[in-house]
Amino acid sequence: MTHYSLSHMQYGFDGLNLDYEYPAYQQSASEKQTFAAWCRELKTAFQPYGYELTAAVAAGKDKIDAGYDVPEISKYLDAIHLMSYDLHGSWESTVNHHAPMSSNVPEDYLTVDYAVKYWLQSGCPPEKLVIGIPTYGRTFTLSSPTNTGYYHHFIKLDIFLYMRINNLGIGSWASGAGQAGTISNEEGLLGYQEICLKLAEGGWTVDKATDGSRGPIAYKETQWIGYDDKETAKLKAQYVIDHGLGGAMFWDLPSDDFNNRCGEGTYPIIRTVHQTLYP
């Protein structure tokens, strides 16, 4: 594998990003050690040429614990790209924003803030940690067009009831993925461009968290979307600055409004982050 990676550098690449989802997660526990050894082997081979080695890593606590020897891999990776998105999605039975910044629920570990702090506490240098910002939203089909989260269902579990009261729309029952968009053509996902064009059609209810804990949610009839907008992206970029992190990365380039169909300029999400980090 190391020889294969080096052979591709002849095409002008300056490094390699590892995207293995996920070491030792529901697999052999030994992968935690072999993944660290892989990072060491690649970095040792790359060093004479000045090539960079980075890795996309999980944001969920269970996956972090299972697969990453954080102090060890931090020695060899030039940057650690935190996949702080897809924390929720249509594989779940209730709706939720897929990249929330924070949560008021103590048991809720699936947030950007928790993931960042857990990686740092586990031994990752802040200057190497890069947070992921989505340029797309995760979508659901609601079980009922009136089931948007405004207390239509009494849930006995305290964590879900607490979430529903404090984050309007979060926790509503879903019957499956949201309808596919005309551009991305994938159920359960809409690019930011698709989202802003849909909202422009009218009839959508949009709820923005006033405390910055998450990006907007929008719903119309049975369709429900959770996404990051320019304001959310700016808050996350400021979070990078405030915590001395290494930067921000995106998934992905074509999902942003690359040709300004929505009137906010080209690449509004990505551009907002860049302007915040480099004023």
Map residue 15 onto helix, strand or coil.
strand
Given this model, what pLDDT does residue 160 score? 41
pLDDT computed for residue 154 by the predictor: 34
pLDDT of the residue at 155: 37
Closest residue by Cα to residue 71 from 17, 129, 122, 131: 122
Please state the domain extents for the chain: 78-277
Contact 214, 85 (CB under 8 A): no
Model confidence over 178-205: pLDDT tens digits?
999 999 999 999 999 999 999 999 999 9
Q: Would you name the residues annotated as active-site residues?
A: 21
Is 96 within 8 Å of 86 (Cβ atoms)?
no
Give the number of other Cβ atoms within 10 Å of residue 171's Cβ.
23
Contacts of 167 by beta carbon, 8 Å cutoff, 6+ apart:
97, 149, 209, 213, 214
- 3.40.250.10, 3.10.50.10, 3.10.180.10, 3.40.50.2300: CATH of 78-277: 3.10.50.10
Q: Residue 252, preceding bond cis, omega within 30 degrees?
A: yes
Distances (CA, A) of 175 to 163, 224, 225, 270: 19, 11, 14, 32
pLDDT for position 166? 36
Distance CA 188, CA 179 (A): 7
d(CA 266, CA 208): 23
Q: How many whole angstroms separate alpha carbon 243 and alpha carbon 158? A: 32
Return per-residue pLDDT of the chain as tens, 279 residues.
566 567 767 788 899 999 999 999 989 999 999 999 999 999 999 999 999 999 999 999 999 999 999 999 999 999 999 999 999 999 999 999 999 999 988 788 999 999 999 999 999 999 999 999 999 999 999 998 766 543 333 333 444 443 343 333 788 999 999 999 999 999 999 999 999 999 999 999 999 998 999 999 999 999 999 999 999 999 999 999 999 999 999 999 999 999 999 999 999 999 999 999 999
